Structure 1
């Protein structure tokens, strides 16, 4: 079926670029499935044949781009894909899990393939641009932009992508702005900062937690429990220490909100 579709697209539009999102999910599902070894190998064979059809044996393909959360070495798994260049969002010079996580505090310089990591997720300017666009139909967003941006920072900021810090989760930011606009469309325009504060806070929620499975993470925690316990203790200690620091110590601090009482931020 894919070969027929590929030939049809190529005939009418020329060679194409194939984009695959969450390519790692089939491999994770097979790994976590309660199947016997024979069934798992058969499933991996199906995935291998699919990748061979899409990438290796496809004369109609110009290039392929795959996105995934967990790194799956396709060539080692015998997927049938070759000539792959990996672009990692977080450096992992060490093979063990704890060192890979802690490596985020020692990011790469951004050279070579890592230079593309700034293309992942939103930066502050892009979030501001989204708010400016939304303010055209909902003026209250422009009036209270500083507080709304501070709320977005508090909920969805702080991700490390390679050498770039303070990136925003795109799905969460987009969902938050969409929810905020929906609330403003259904309610009377806010007449005070405190009304807008309540509306903004009601729009904020953990949108991303329902978008994926945690099965592989749970399996890794069980496998490396001692390392994760040690890491969790360190994170908690660092958190308690950070609470005592001046807010200006942190990169990407909140902008002042003039209509709120002192200390409200």
Structure 2
């Protein structure tokens, strides 16, 4: 790869687009060339003439391939359409438009939609000591937008994309206040970005087909490494690029791609995986869980375990952590960041400062108390209250306080599975003698665990063993942090036997 430091042509070109005259030089990013490379040549007119000629040749090639008559020009950065508003710790890029169903950071910024500045997630990710991080957050919490933001920040632009175009996405954002990080990391890495949100299917065969298409698209994006591969690697590359179903090759596909990119660019990769848990949730629903678990465990295990020489850092995003199944459990370098940990806490979801600035911009600040009562946020490890962005944005668009978020998930399926689980649990406990102290202790621990999420919403949990009372098994008591002041008492009866129960 050759980098051109011209204000017009600042970009990265794959070597198969470099013309013959430049191939006498030695690039710092490649060992394909044969003669020593002088960095001073980059500032010489002859060097710039060659680079400009290279751009024209590449454009002509693309025009011929597409049947086009016009040469493709580099993307030109356009100034942000949003105005900047600050309040407390919050920064808002504000416009008259707010969208709830667009999850691309680049598209939101370039199309002039309102967006909260979460760019300090970049510094949190860089400075986090974990090499492989798993962040779990509820549905519709801004996970994909943040992941696409990281992608646009770190990844090396390939023509016609360029650094000037990328830089405009981050102009006047909080990450620009960290020039030490910005200059060192901006547009410096190859990023392997894989979204599994559409990886579905009623059968395992259907899911495999969908995933292999995604994998083929990923490989096609990096076709320029092909000529540097050996004969065996080219054979595997061709099979994956064409979407051929072959387990022994596919399970190492991401590992191999990280090696190809590292060898080509002489720099490690950053891996970003969106909705890592979605395929297994779908597989469980359609009863082919074990096949999916085994495949994806092998795929990500090969990529993330013992691959430090090719990977700089990895971030996986999902709704829940999948435990006790063998999925990612072999990764001894994995660090999990649930909502109750302070790391990454305020970069997913909206804080109260961010909600206020949104409401103020839309002349709805008088509705803040109503927002608190309806959407009573999640409590994080650093005592922040976070609110679901989908609910807040939907309220601003529709101007109605209602349960907007419910429609985004399969509530009926959850209710059915929870009722089935609850019946199974109560029947399981019914066969024990609860007068036994050890069994009774385990029973109360289990009940507390079932409702532990209420603690992070500002409620206090107590069992009758802790309170030295015998009138309830579980008490959920509101604290001063919540507006819903009603407490809940629960008492569970032991069933000796329930006929025909399965």
Q: Which has the higher strand share?
A: 2
Q: Which runs of 5+ in 1 are unaligned?
A: 91-112, 136-140, 181-199, 243-248, 254-265
Residue aligning to 2:365: 145
**Which of 97, 114, 123 is matched with 2:351 structurally?**
123
Residue aligning to 2:393: 174
- Alignment pair present for 1:88 and 2:338: yes
Q: Which runs of 5+ in 2 are unaligned?
A: 1-215, 223-256, 427-446, 455-471, 484-502
Report matched runs for 1:179-218 at 5 Å.
Answer: 179-180=397-398, 200-201=399-400, 204-214=401-411, 215=413, 218=416
SS in 1 for 2:270: strand
Alignment CA distance shift 1:129-1:117 (3 Å)? same
CA distance in 2, matches of 1:82, 1:205: 43
- Taking structure 1 as the reference length, the TM-score comes to 0.53
**Which of 272, 275, 278 is matched with 1:19 structurally?**
272
Report matched runs for 1:1-265 at 5 Å.
Answer: 1=216, 2=218, 5=222, 6=257, 15-35=268-288, 40-52=289-301, 54-56=303-305, 57=307, 60-73=310-323, 76-77=326-327, 81-90=331-340, 113-132=341-360, 134-135=361-362, 141=363, 144-146=364-366, 148-164=367-383, 166-177=385-396, 179-180=397-398, 200-201=399-400, 204-214=401-411, 215=413, 218-225=416-423, 226=426, 250-251=480-481
Shift of 1:58: 8.0
Q: Which has the higher helix share?
A: 1
CA distance in 1, matches of 2:419, 2:309: 42
Pairwise CA RMSD of aligned residues?
A: 4.2
SS in 2 for 1:89: coil
Aligned pairs, number? 187
CA distance in 2, matches of 1:9, 1:151: 51
SS in 1 for 2:353: helix
Alignment CA distance shift 1:216-1:21 (3 Å)? farther
Residue aligning to 1:94: none
Shift of 1:127: 0.8
Shift of 1:25: 1.9
SS in 1 for 2:284: helix
Give the number of the structure whose alpha-carbon radius of gyration is greater.
2
Alignment CA distance shift 1:216-1:85 (3 Å)? farther
Shift of 1:125: 0.6
CA distance in 2, matches of 1:149, 1:120: 20
Q: Which moved more, 1:121-130 or 1:219-228?
A: 219-228
